[in-house]
Amino acid sequence: MRSMEIARMSRGTSAKKSGALKVGAVLASLALVVSGCSGKAQPPGEGGDYPKGPVTVTAPAEPGSGWDTTARAVVESLQKEKIVETPLPVQNRPGGTGCTWMTSMMEQEKGKDDQIAITSLASQTMKARGLCEYGPQDTTLIATLYVEDFIVVSPADGEIKDLDGLVKALKDDPQKVTVAAAGDDTLPFALFAKAAGVSPADVNFVNYDGGGEQTTALLNGDATVAIAGLSEFRSVLESGDIKPIVTFADKPLMAPFESVPTAVDSGYDVTLSNWRGVYGPAEMPQAAVDYWKGALEDLSKSESWKSTLTKNQWAPEFRTGDDAKQYVEEAAATVDAGVKETDIGSK
């Protein structure tokens, strides 16, 4: 049975129409020209009247999720580097694996300039599965920021000890292996199950909004394994309460996780990376879009942001404008194909 590979896309290339399917890559930051200036975000009172007040940054999941970690890291660097000096309150608005807030941004927040939010591959998977009307490609996309590798983990004292144990348990009785997975996490695990000879339809997925809830489920005994981005589990992995089983990275992770087996090196032809980025409401005023493009470009070049990328093992993936739109649309097409390949739509 043919397996599917989803890997990082390089600048200027399109997702292949046959064979391995690919998404995500590391590329150089784009130079922007914003409102006739050098691309530098204008602080309030210096040549522009935006932003006039606080701009809310929304993480559409609970604290501890990848979206939450991203939102707070972005705000911290923007303010530490004095790129944006207006208040940037962070709010958590969980629901529907990002769908609830994205729907609000498309409908209730339409035309506003005081809202931005974090999005990722998760929202594309939700749309592809028929679980949300909107995806990132439908929004006012401002920028992509980085790519993160997925990892499967289990409780330190759990029944699953390693990758071979996980595959054996899935083959013996997939319904006994409770997999804590958010919307984007379902696809890579389904691809892995299929590569291991297990029908994705038989996998016992339980939906959680992000890494915080998934970790709680693991430690409470409500889940056998969980899958999310590495940063969502990093602190608990370092504490020893949970342990890594396998990553879907295309190459070994960096220390201290360099010994975690990759699926592809273990004979399962599946790689997947999760991009994350920033979007605004539908019909967001162009002045606000331009401002945030410039601010996030400055962010991508800052030392504090580069340090955050290294700490979390995030690969830089800064794009804006048509380049970001093309990247996200290609990722959406790849996710659509993955959902069809694994038959996990509308579940």
Residue 117 and residue 102 share a domain: yes
What is the rounded (10 degree) CA torsion for 307, 261, 246, 324? 50
Residue 299 and residue 255 share a domain: no
Could you please report the per-residue DSSP string of 118-184? EEEHHHHHHHHTTS-S--GGGSEEEEEEEEEEEEEEEETTSS--SHHHHHHHHHH-GGGSEEEE-HH
- Record the tokens describing residue 73, joined without a space: 């890291």
Q: What is the pLDDT along the chain (347 residues), one digit of tens a residue?
A: 333 333 343 333 333 333 333 333 332 232 322 333 333 444 433 446 899 999 999 999 989 889 999 999 999 999 999 999 999 999 999 998 899 999 999 999 999 999 999 999 989 999 999 999 999 999 999 999 999 999 999 999 999 999 999 999 999 999 999 999 976 688 999 999 999 999 999 999 998 877 888 999 999 999 999 999 999 899 899 999 999 999 999 999 999 999 999 999 999 999 888 999 999 999 999 999 999 999 999 999 999 999 999 999 999 999 999 999 999 999 999 899 999 999 887 65
Residue 262 and residue 282 share a domain: no
Q: Is 119 within the bounds of a domain? A: yes
Residue 251 and residue 182 share a domain: yes
Element at 324 (helix H, strand E) = helix 321-342
Query: Tell me, what's the pLDDT at 327?
Result: 94
Query: Tell me, what's the pLDDT at 346?
Result: 60
Between CA 332 and CA 202 the distance in angstroms is 25
The per-type count for the chain, helices as H runs and strands as E runs, is: 10, 10
Q: Is 46 within the bounds of a domain? A: no
CA angle 304, 137, 78 (to 5 degrees): 15
Q: Is 37 within the bounds of a domain? A: no
Q: Is 184 within the bounds of a domain? A: yes
Q: Is 83 within the bounds of a domain? A: yes
For the whole model, what pTM was predicted? 0.80
Query: Tell me, what's the pLDDT at 218?
Result: 94
Query: What CATH number corresponds to the domain at position 192?
Result: 3.40.190.10
Query: What CATH number corresponds to the domain at position 308?
Result: 3.40.190.150
Q: Is 251 within the bounds of a domain? A: yes
Q: Both ends of the chain: CA-CA distance in Å?
A: 22
- Record the tokens describing residue 131, joined without a space: 């679980």
Q: How many domains does the chain have?
A: 2
Q: Is 188 within the bounds of a domain? A: yes
Residue 80 and residue 169 share a domain: no
Residue 189 and residue 246 share a domain: yes
Range of the domain at 283: 56-148+274-342
Q: Is 30 within the bounds of a domain? A: no
